[in-house]
A = this chain, B = another copy of it.
Amino acid sequence: MPISKPTKPVSLKALDAPPRARASSYPEKFRARVEGREKRPLGDLFGLTNFGVNLTRLAPGSQSALRHAHARQDEFVYILEGRPTLITDAGETELEPGMCAGFKAGTGDGHYLANRSKRDVLYLEIGDRTRGDSATYPDEDLQVVQDAEGNWRYLHRDGTPY
């Protein structure tokens, strides 16, 4: 949630929303892969708490996340600009503006978007805020669990903290 503001907007141009200050909460060794990722939280600006909506830009060579699968929180993306590659257990799928994809919690099928093109990718990402979530990372020695306060704690697969 942003610092509380005196008034909430009625509407806004999504690209006018401020980018999130912190680029990534991943352990240091994984951060370079998402360095070209810029998230603008939109739902928070209107006081929404049940789900989050981000306008996210991926520079060429960047990716949306490490490949991951949530236990409880659903995710959805809608491509606005550019041509990202979606990677899941089904393989690789080229996306274009007007295309969308959804990632049901609990399936174990990890996903991420990679920008292998020469221009920016811009998309909306939506995720709910169901508590007690966790995520697995099928390609990494990594897992994340959400504690009682809603903070994410990154662990090795064997449960030792990063």
- Do A88 and B43 have beta carbons less than 8 Å apart? no
CA gap between A46 and B107 in the complex, in Å: 11
Interface string of A30-68 (1 = CB under 8 A from B): 000000000000110111111101000000000000000
What is the interface size of chain A, counting residues whose CB is below 8 A from a CB of the partner?
38
Residues on A lying within 8 angstroms of B by beta carbon are: 8, 10-15, 42-43, 45-51, 53, 73-74, 76, 78, 86, 88, 90, 93, 95, 98-105, 124, 126, 128, 130
CA gap between A78 and B40 in the complex, in Å: 14
Instruction: Pick the 4 closest A-B CB pairs, nearest first.
Output: A46-B102, A50-B128, A11-B101, A47-B104
- Do B76 and A43 have beta carbons less than 8 Å apart? yes
